[in-house]
Amino acid sequence: MFTLETPDFIVIAIYFVFVIGIGIWSSVKANQSTVGGYFLAGKAMTWWPIGASLMSSNVGSGLFIGLAGTGAAGGIAVGGFEWNATWVLVALGWIFVPVYIAAGVVTMPEYLKKRFGGQRIRIYMSILSLILYVFTKISTDIFSGALFIQVALGWNIYLSTVILLVVTAVYTIAGGLTAVIYTDALQTVIMVVGAIILMFIGFQKVGWYPGLVEKYFQAIPNITVANTSCHIPRADAFHMFRHPITGDIPWPGLIFGLTVLATWCWCTDQVIVQRSLSARNLSHAKGGSILGGYLKILPMFFVVWPGMISRALYPDQVACVDPTVCESICGARVGCSNIAYPKLVMELMPVGLKGLMIAVLMAALMSSLTSIFNSSSTLFTLDIWQRIRRNATEMELMIVGRIFIILLVAISIAWIPIIQTANSGKLFDYIQSITSYLAPPITALFILAVFWKRVNEQGAFWGLMVGLTLGLIRMIMEFVYGAPSCGEVDQRPGILKDVHYLYFAIMLCGMTAIVITVISLLTPAMKEENLIRLTWWTRHNQTSTNDINDSSSQTKTVAESVESNTEVQSSTEDKGLHETVAIPQWKKIFFCLCNLSAQQKPELTKEEMDAMQKKLTSIEEKPLWRKICNINALILLAINVFLWGYFG
């Protein structure tokens, strides 16, 4: 139990004022009364806020707690989860985003709808994505945030979390993606600065890197379990590449299995891709990917290493192995590595900076939650609600999107006790393992959809169904049997104890791809005219006026989504649309709180709409900026390869 002093509270208060101020400023800056303004930030974002938002929307409090905890328990190999992201972020900017922009989509399920036709794949993807957000993002972020508050301050978990969620939801509801991206950019700076300060203080305590190596291998708790070795630090703790069979994170799984998960996370997940789709052009989307790639190199140094430092300094708490002792320390019998980061913050940070680090953890929690709330709202509104209400007005979609965020807040609060009772000893392993059971089929489908024109709707749907079934079987078994504590006999079936979850991800992705391929080859191919601008090979083709998706799609085009975000209101009087209409007072208050405009806006002509659609779906780049982006991407990948080799 620790206490904060007045300077700490002042720092926390200043931080929250800044966040709310940035949220209000960015809300006013962009028109949030339209689908394009609210969900795609008016497609006007530049590279630096996109890159910062890519980082902070992924680095939530779950990563600070989970990544540091897994580093404390097993060493630096878990940092490979961050470094792998660099490669996939480059793939996002150079391969996937050009296809998405050319296709003119707002959501990933919408892309699948255009690519394959029909509705069942789109609905399936939307629902599965929302389930994944609850299982792996919302729940773990809230649990880790609550864990930090509990370790650091002893405050009531529910009250603290409710306050955080309310503040988070307010500027997400009011500001849409613009507010989320700009506040993410601010919070990225705070996270990086605060975490680097803590890293240097920690290294100073242990005698820098040589001291960490020495003290980490000596970090054995006083109370151990007889006739076991789980209290002894791993001999390969400072190596990235570990034995393919006995390693806790085997190197083939780290390279190949992790790439399967990372492709889902960075190239097909609505939370991430939505940021790149908000770019004003393709070069800015690529620039955001490069900045995000550089930022994702950093967590190894300011999250994983501090977790290992925490074990070296406090082995009796962080490295406990006796189930009874662990339960008394952190409430979990399988281990207390999750408290590594908050323990280090509260023990080492001086007055004032301690408040800054609490703000950092809260920033991580809030930035990831805002991203999830906004993207979940996008999925529900455009892919599910529009399916239910095909003639929904723009105003109705805006209101439904905001109300759905409130519903997610309620679900998030309800998840707190569930995650507390299902506490995993290594939170990061929990996140990655659940992802390994549900995400690989999506990865297989998107790769085939983008690169192979022969894939059709029947193959895609049944491939997803087979993949989901196999993944759910493994996930249910994982929850039923659970991981044994130190000294307990592992009685789990072989598929659990002998097949690492990263290996399972490779197998599941491969099996899904085989099913998709076989069924697609046994059923009729799609017509070439229905694939225009929807694959890597057809992304530069001109849009066909006879495309069946143009007439059958119930969703708005990007131009229709963004058109009323342009400054055309001055022409309303000329068009005779600016009429005085009596609006009830309660409706005025509601519109004001939700940052909606009650003024009727003119509609663009078909010619104007076509011109705007062509501009918004253009993937042309200026040669100079294309060359600059390519050179920077090569430099980024070269640095990444060097780091893998050096710590391999």
- What is the per-residue pLDDT across 324-337, written as a single tens digit (0 to 9) for each? 777 777 666 667 78
Question: Largest Cα–Cα distance in the chain?
Answer: 86
pLDDT class for 455, splitting at 50, 70, 90?
A: very high
Higher pLDDT pick, 562 / 170: 170
C-alpha to C-alpha distances, 73 to 133, 310, 324, 605, nearest whole angstrom: 26, 10, 18, 62
Which of 553, 580, 600 is the C-terminal boundary of a domain?
A: 553
Does residue 274 lie within any of the structural domains? no
Give the count of beta carbons closer than 10 Å to the beta carbon of residue 326. Answer: 24
Does residue 273 lie within any of the structural domains? no
Q: Please give the full DSSP string across 604-648, using - where no structure is assigned.
A: PPHHHHHHHHHHHT-----HHHHHHHHHHHHHHHHHHHHHHHHH-
User: Is residue 36 pLDDT above 50, yes or no?
Assistant: no
Using a pLDDT cut of 70, give the percent of the chain over it: 69
C-alpha to C-alpha distances, 16 to 131, 187, 618, nearest whole angstrom: 30, 10, 39
Same-domain pairing of 36 and 131: yes
- What was the pLDDT predicted at 520? 94
Nearest-angstrom CA–CA distance, 356 and 11: 6
- What was the pLDDT predicted at 358? 77
User: Is residue 251 pLDDT above 70, yes or no?
Assistant: yes
Same-domain pairing of 542 and 623: no
Q: Rounded mean pLDDT of 545-559?
A: 44
Same-domain pairing of 491 and 544: yes
Does residue 8 lie within any of the structural domains? yes
Chain centroid to Cα 112, Å, comes to 20
Q: What tokens appear for 345 in the block?
A: 């913050």
Q: Rounded mean pLDDT of 87-116?
A: 88
User: Is residue 365 pLDDT above 80, yes or no?
Assistant: no
Nearest-5° angle of CA 116, CA 119, CA 123?
A: 115
Q: What tokens appear for 527 in the block?
A: 């017509």
Q: Work out the mean pLDDT of the chain and round it to a whole number.
A: 76
Same-domain pairing of 529 and 393: no
Same-domain pairing of 82 and 219: yes
Q: Rounded mean pLDDT of 73-102?
A: 89
Q: How many domains does the chain have?
A: 2
Same-domain pairing of 409 and 470: no
SS3 577: coil
Same-domain pairing of 348 and 376: yes
SS3 279: strand
Nearest-angstrom CA–CA distance, 481 and 499: 15
User: Is residue 159 pLDDT above 60, yes or no?
Assistant: yes
Q: Rounded mean pLDDT of 546-555?
A: 42
Does residue 276 lie within any of the structural domains? no
Weakest mean pLDDT among 21-35, 254-268, 523-537, 545-559: 545-559
User: Is residue 421 pLDDT above 60, yes or no?
Assistant: no
- Whether the predicted model's global pTM rises above the 0.85 cut: no
Weakest mean pLDDT among 471-480, 515-524, 566-575: 566-575
The domain in which residue 520 lies consists of: 439-553
Q: Rounded mean pLDDT of 104-119?
A: 84
